[in-house]
Amino acid sequence: QVQLVESGGGLVQPGGSLRLSCAASTNIFSIYTMGWYRQAPGKQREKVASITSRSTTNYADSVKDRFTISRDNAKNTVYLQMNSLKPEDTAVYYCNAIFSSSFWGQGTQVTVSS
């Protein structure tokens, strides 16, 4: 069982930035593919970005060139740097870890509004 704890969400104005963090409770963090997903009210959960154990990254088209996913295996943490935020980025953001099983965090709210 892997516990994931997200942090860093909040209220930000359009054009602003936030950095989300997700800390994992596992000694084998480096083997997991880590991902960030989001779910806006009334919408399905969607994948935002992912990073493999070899640090290969993948992004949704809607966030390319604005968001950056990274990982620090020494700290068992994955990050999501979000720049040039738009109101449509408003959602609950969830961290995911997957190897043989999939684990989810509780989510952190990101609200982009003036």
User: Model confidence over 50-90: pLDDT tens digits?
Assistant: 999 999 999 999 999 999 999 999 999 999 999 999 999 99
Question: What's the confidence (pLDDT) of residue 26?
Answer: 87
pLDDT at 108 over 90: yes
Position 1 scores a pLDDT of: 86
Q: Please tell me the predicted confidence (pLDDT) of residue 30.
A: 86
Q: What is the mean pLDDT of residues 82-109?
A: 96
State the Cα–Cα distance between residues 108 and 80, nearest whole angstrom. Answer: 12
Cβ-based neighbours of 15, under 8 Å, separated by 6 or more: 84, 85
Q: 11 with 111: CB under 8 angstroms?
A: yes
Query: Taking residues 26-49, what's their average pLDDT?
Result: 94
